[in-house]
Structure 1
């Protein structure tokens, strides 16, 4: 009769083998997610706008309007510094309304340059953050998103054409510090300035104001160098 002898491995080798298998599984999961054509991201928009870091004429009802944006290709975005703002961007920046900008995004989608509309809540008074999810694909890997700084003449925060797919890989985590833009359509210099239409309108630029008005320089607070908020983007597994 033939007797088969079983080989018993030491516990340390068994544990080492198990750990190696776990690492391989994690690596395979990561490689799988990186190879996907479409991925889902979680976006958290956090306000750092407060009376301590933005003391100059700080408004009592400070808030941000509902978020609106899209994922798109390199052919189309929704705003560019140094160029004139669209009517949709102006409406959003002056009133917080998303209607016209969503119509413009619809045109971009009909032209085949976008496949995902971001249409979400903003940060209301007394809240500090809001979290949303959105989809991106290899055909439409760029993110653009905006929200009105409210109240304000025509000021807004935004991300312009942020690439989520670089070097053949999806970005797993990224934080963007937000500067404030001036849409160029209103000449007000404080958060609660009365309407003062700029004719002809100026181009979009980073906000700079007098020290006694709202004290901004190139989109951040002049004295504290504080950003008004940040956006963190995480790829969901």
Structure 2
């Protein structure tokens, strides 16, 4: 080979080496870059897991709050505005337990009363009886007392009139229903002890609604009151008007005239009757 050919071959070999053809170094670098990217992706995944944990905790807190609110609401219950009751009046006044001068035609006059507020009373012990109460206690008539109850209703102190039959000599009891409301929660009812000068039995202002609750049932033993308008001392005494009239009080009389002291039997303490009040469901 001539010197010129040798120089040409050397020049071609040098040029190929300088251009880098056929090497794989960049591929290795690309793989390394991919591995680094994978580590970064793994860190991102870890951050996502932390975020999910925070979300679960928030959800549990909201659930507890909702449960407490529901419990508070369930405790706020209100009683009904009105209630219906059954009243049963039973006589226990008999010749064998009130023997002294026991009348042949013993009975109780028709019952009259009302449901009312604190200002709607029809009688009170130690106060002088109204004309309507005196008429009822002396004769058994309830018409004048009903007029007085109408006036009480017109004044806004009552909403229900009780107007029922009495208990005759041949019967033992009477039952009827009546209605009360939260605005008028008191019960008063009266009946004449007959025959008598001016004696009667009565309930005065019995509460049916207290502390946001209606009374379920109650039995009340009845004492005898003296209306203070007649001075007769026996069941069958003739009229003897008391002037001036005395206040209403529990009946006490001479032992020879009747068996009463402070409204009950002088010796045994027996009651003349009883009233049972029961709420209807």
Instruction: Give the TM-score normalised by structure 2.
Output: 0.72
**For residues 54 and 158 of structure 1, what CA distance do their matches in structure 2 show?**
19
SS in 2 for 1:106: helix
Task: Output one character per residue of 1:129-173: Cα deviation in whole Å (capped at 9) or x when no partner.
Answer: 000100000000000000000000000000000000111100000
Q: Does 1:186 align with 2:230?
A: yes
Equivalents in 1 of 2:157, 2:233: separation in Å? 36
Residue of structure 2 aligned with 1:174, choices 218, 222, 225: 218
- Which one of the candidate residues 75, 83, 87 is aligned to 1:39? 83
User: Larger C-alpha radius of gyration, 1 or 2?
Assistant: 2
Q: Residue 228 of structure 1 corresponds to which residue in structure 2?
A: 272
Gaps of 5+ in 2: 1-75
Match of 2:37 in 1: none
- How well do the aligned residues superpose, as a CA RMSD in angstroms? 1.2
Q: Summarize the alignment of residues 124-135 of structure 1 with structure 2, pairs less than 5 Å apart.
A: 124-135=168-179
Aligned to 1:74: 118
Displacement of 1:198 in angstroms is: 0.3
Q: Determine if the alignment matches structure 1 residue 141 to structure 2 residue 185.
A: yes
1:196 aligns with 2:235: no
Superposed CA offset, 1:50-98 (max 9, x none): 0011000000100000000000001120000000000000000000000
Runs of 4+ in 1 over 3 A off after TM superposition: none
Aligned-partner Cα distance in 1 for 2:270–2:103:
17
Structure number with the higher helix fraction is 2
SS of equivalent residue, structure 1 residue 105? helix
* Matched residue, 1:14: none
Superposed, which structure 2 residues align to 1:1-237 within 5 Å? 35-237=79-281
Distance 2:237 2:213 in 1: 45
CA distance in 2: counterparts of 1:168 and 1:53, whole angstroms: 41
* Alpha-carbon distance between aligned partners in 2 of 1:141 and 1:186, rounded to the nearest angstrom: 33
* Corresponding residue pairs, total: 206
SS of equivalent residue, structure 1 residue 109: helix
If the length of structure 1 is used for normalisation, what is the TM-score?
0.85
Q: Which has the higher contact order (CA 8 A, sep 6+)?
A: 1
Q: Which stretches in structure 1 are left out of the alignment for 5+ residues?
A: 1-30
